[in-house]
Chain A
Amino acid sequence: GAVVSQHPSWVICKSGTSVKIECRSLDFQATTMFWYRQFPKQSLMLMATSNEGSKATYEQGVEKDKFLINHASLTLSTLTVTSAHPEDSSFYICSARDIRYEQYFGPGTRLTVT
């Protein structure tokens, strides 16, 4: 199956700093990528939809100025958490959709803000 990678897999940062998470589709092109957030023992919550070459579409309640998304190519999308706070600590997962509408997920990035 298709492979999606995320980097880093785990990051610890201090409150007030910014963190960038990369999502790459390794063996297919993805015009659409999605960013999800998952708290312990809860399901995935969609944060935003990222389309190559255009602005991301954010879900209600998600601050676009805090969670900056860039989808610069058909294989790369980045999520930058700006001015991170402890409540931003979570598991961030990206997915990439292929031309058959199948979505493949990355392994996730665990963010801990101290």
Chain B
Amino acid sequence: QKEVEQDPGPLSVPEGAIVSLNCTYSNSAFQYFMWYRQYSRKGPELLMYTYSSGNKEDGRFTAQVDKSSKYISLFIRDSQPSDSATYLCALDTGRRALTFGSGTRLQVQP
């Protein structure tokens, strides 16, 4: 079993839709939770960073962490074609490098 599981997609939605991206994890030592966006042939860009259970909102993005269920989510409201990218969840115990999910490819259709 992988430490972090993420549906690779692809996920195709119409412009304006609400997008839900999810990861599950097995290691309870993970304390820091991040979402990165990666465009093709570019480095990952940090979108959201949180270290506690609950919701964190930033513009059209909401990150949700449920430590009891070992489940994290990223919601994108009013999705735009420019949101089309691969979204990677990343988890950290605080002592080592990030453990990434496999990434979900998102395509927002205009």
| CB 8 Å contact bits of B82-104 with A (1 = contact, 0 = none) | 00000010101010111011110
Contact A102 B46 (CB under 8 A): yes
Contact A43-B100, Cβ < 8 Å, known A93-B43, A105-B44, A108-B41: yes
* Other-chain contact of B46, A1, A49, A91, A107 (Cβ < 8 Å): A1
User: Given A43-B101, A49-B97, A101-B94, A107–B43 Cβ distance below 8 Å?
Assistant: yes
User: In the bound complex, do residue B42 and residue A108 qualify as a contact, i.e. CB atoms below 8 Å apart?
Assistant: yes
- Contact for B97 among A34, A42, A110, CB less than 8 A: A34
> In the complex the two chains form, what is the Cα distance from A44 to B98 in whole Å?
10
Asked if A101 meets B42 with Cβ closer than 8 Å, knowing A43-B103, A46-B97, the reply is no
Chain A 69-109 interface mask (CB, 8 Å, partner B; 1/0): 00000000000000000000001010100000111111110
Main secondary structure on A side of the interface with B = strand
Nearest residue, chain B, Cβ from A91: B41
Is B36 an interface residue when CB atoms closer than 8 A count as contact?
yes
Residue from the set A46, A95, A103 with the largest chain B CB neighbour count within 10 Å: A103
| B32 within 8 Å of A (CB atoms) | yes
Q: Report the Cα distance A93→B41, complex, angstroms.
A: 10
> What's the Cα separation between A6 and B44 when bound, in Å?
13
> Are B46 and A103 in contact, CB atoms less than 8 angstroms apart?
yes
A-B contacts, 8 listed (Cβ < 8 Å): A4-B43, A43-B102, A44-B88, A46-B97, A101-B32, A103-B90, A105-B43, A107-B42
